[in-house]
Structure formats: C-alpha cells, structure tokens
Structure 1
Amino acid sequence: MAETGLEPSTNDMEQARVDQDTKQQVRTAEPDTGTWASIRETVKVGIQALLIALVVRTLLFQPFNIPSGSLVPTLLIGDYLFVSKYSYGYSKYSLPLSEYLPFQYHGRVWGAEPKRGDIAVFKLPKDNATDYIKRVIGLPGDKIQVIEGVLNINGKAVKRERIADYETTDAFGQATKVPQYNETLPGGVEHRTVERDGDHGFWDNTELYTVPAGHFFMMGDNRDNSTDSRDLSSVGYVPFENFVGRAEMIFFSIDEGTPAWQVWRWPADVRWNRIFTTIH
C-alpha cells in the first residue's frame, strides 16, 4: 500500500529541533506571570495592612507598656495597655514621631478635656517627646496641695480609707508591706494608692499649687515613688495639647523582669488575671 504522507527530510527535522530549543529558551527567559502576580498581591496586601495599622494607631488606639511602678497598684511594671486616641481629640502629639514634625500646630481638633480621675498618657512638657502616664488629679483653676500624705483639692481633704497593706519589695529586693488606701476624688472616682514611705515621704508635704488655665495636674498612685506634677522642674503642669490619650484596657501583662518575647516563660510568668481588664 502506498504511503500517503511524506517522510520529513533531515533538514526539516533539524529546523524543528532548533525551533523547539528557541521556544524553550524564550520560556525560560520570560518571568512566570503567575509568580509575579502573587508577589504583587502580597506587597499590595502588606501595604494596605500597614496603612490600616497606621490609621488605627493615629486615630483610634495606641499600645503602650508600663516600664515603672509610679501607678502601682493600678498599673504594674510589665502591663501592656491600649490608649484611646479619640478620647481627648487630636493634637500634633497624636501623630507618630510628633517631635520630628516640621510644622508647629498648636491646639486640638475635636477636643474633649480630661476628667478628674482619668489615667492618661501625655508628652512630658519638658521635652514634648517623652511619654508619661499618670492620673488626672487637678483641673484648670484647681488648688492642689499634699499635707501629711493627704491630698487636698480646693481646700478640702480628699477622702481616703486605709485598707489591707500592699505587698511589694523594697529597694533591696526584700518582700515588704506598705500602707494602702482607697481614695475617692471629687466627682466620685475611687482608686487605690500606696504610701511606700508612710505619710512622711519627700512629696507628702508640698506647696500650694494653682493649676493654670489650659493645664492639668497629674499624679501617680504610688505617691512616694512617682515623678509627677508635684515636681515643677521635672514635670509640672501639663498643657492640654500634650495629652495623647486615655488608658482603657490591659491587653497583656507579664511579671517584671520577664521579656514579653520569651514565650516559653508565658505559662508561669504571664499575669493571666490582668489580661483584658479595664483601667480605672
């Protein structure tokens, strides 16, 4: 039976092999469009996530951690908390790295003044850069004085009630107990305070302070271990525009001296009973 097809010549076979090799080289040289699309999508999602985080941090909530014991027993070293940025409105200090901003805007947008008893984060007036956290004690126009350990506001002693001593450690790391009180501020906010040095510490007898207009008087709950508005040279009166936000909730807490990144120590060192507790 006669063949109907034609036997390819040697030259045709060689040319086919060359064409196939050329196509393979082109495919190898060209980028995989699927891979590049995946990379672009990953970068896009990453940028979107960063922008969302920036907006949340700037306008809504900012995380802080507590590095000192000035607000013991309310806040402990190793507490991590969220601060609401919208509570007092927005100033230039609401923005990240505000100390490096080229413009000098003064004032607040949608401002709402802090209330007596709030625990608030603010920029230290001395350098307008360092974050401090204290309790709002004095409002504009108030007269503040501490007499024998008792807080006085506008000429009246603030009510305080002695409760069980607070267990802590002294300067040498030894376990000790110090006086603890329930204090009720004008307006009804109740909170605990401790007097490490009793009622005869360095700041337990002060001058009479008059809070200027547009400023606030801030104090720590650990009255003998807090650098605050009583020390005019270090903190003094805090301008309203220096407020960053109000402390709202503890979202994580770990024992003092334990880095949060050491996850293998979490089962024993995390203060589980403090997580997701509100601050007041």
Structure 2
Amino acid sequence: MNLNNSNILITGAARGLGKAMALHLAEKGANVGLVDLAGEALDLAVEECKALGVNAVALPTNVASEQDVEASITKAKEALGPLNGLVNNAGILKDGMLVKAKDGQVTGKLALSQWQSVIDVNLTGVFLCGREVAASMIESGSKGAIINIASISRAGNFGQTNYSAAKAGVVAMATTWAKELARYGIRGAAIAPGMIETEMTLSMKPEARAKMNQGIPAGRMGDPKEIAETVAFIFENDYFNGRVLELDGGLRI
C-alpha cells in the first residue's frame, strides 16, 4: 500500500504515541483523521499535520460510544474521502490488584468500575472503530489495513487484570479481522509495544527511569517514532497480515 495520498484514521491521536503516528504518516504523504476527545491538544496536533502539506481533520470522539464513532467515520469520509486504514491506539489505564489481602483478610478488590472503564475504551472502542472503518472501506472498495495497538501486557501483567485482558482481546480481534476481511483487500494486524517514552515516563524521577531501563535488554525505553515507523511498515507491506509485532527492546513480561 502506498501511503502517499491515502486516508488514515488514528485514535488517541492528540498526544503521545497516537500523535507520533499521525505525524509520521503525514510525513509520508498520508491524509490523516485524528480521533480523540475534544480539546486544544487535538486541534494543535491537527495543525502540525497540516503543516506537513497533507489534509488533516480533528474528529472529537468518545471511542466507547457507538453514536460518536459512527458520526466521526461519516465526518472523516466527508473531509478526507474513501478511507484506507485505521490505527486503533486509544487506551486508558486503571490499574489495580484483583484482590488485596493482609493476614488472610481481604482489604480491597478491583472495582467493577475500574474493569469496565478500561474494557469500554481499550476493547469496545477498538471493536467499534474497527467495525465502522471496515464497513466504510468495503462500501468504497478501498484496500488497506486496520492496526490495533496492543501491549506486551497482553500476556498478563501484575496489577493489570483489566488492561491485560483488553490488550489480549485486541490482538485476537486483529487476527480474526485478518481472516474475515482479506477477501475485501483489508488486512488486520497488531503491534505490542513494551516500555515507551511518553509524557508519563518522562515525568518519572531519574532514578526510577534508570531502574526501569536496566530491566530492558536494549538498555532504554522505546521512542514513539519507532512505533510510528512500525505502523508505516505494516501499512506499506501488503503481505503482513494477521500477526502481532512485539516491539519491546527484548523485554518480556
């Protein structure tokens, strides 16, 4: 797939990984739809993409809302034209132990609200965006790919029952979609990042960051640009389908 003049949507695109993906795809000539909650950060990210000479549109969306997602896909088609792909990147964290106990007495449990909020955004949001973009691509006859951003936590991680379950689910969806949508020229794939430099990790104390880096065989956290380059690789390689790329510097959970 040639990214130049293609039309790609990225969720969670106002900052962090999503913004890095949007900018990198724009540098390659792709027109981009930036899906995120409304705010100044979203508008600024759109302007940065436009400055690279491509068409870009802000799509304020709650990805967990079916009505919001349907409306945003319609707006994206009107602003950009037939869609060629999607990066499902939006996600949240609500970490917590399944059960906390002391001296045989339960002192706390993972709240249903913590479970549900993560599942709503990280899993249901991926389903809704993937479904609507796939339907749009089939109707327009356009080919391309849907890429789900997972995590190496999909294998299970301490204190992340909700997040790990959701990230395992988005990988399962990507491989399922690869099988179902191939007949329409639509590929499905996933990327499972490890520890990546984001606003959250950059705000950590230097000693905490150093300790974290020591646990990564590569000796450092990944750069958001490295994830963005992997996204572009999957879009551009028409034979990459139904697989998950782990990008973690050798770290395994």
After TM superposition, the score normalised by the length of structure 1 is: 0.25
Structure with the higher fraction of residues in helix conformation: 2
**Structure showing greater Rg:** 1
Structure with the higher fraction of residues in strand conformation: 1
After TM superposition, the score normalised by the length of structure 2 is: 0.27
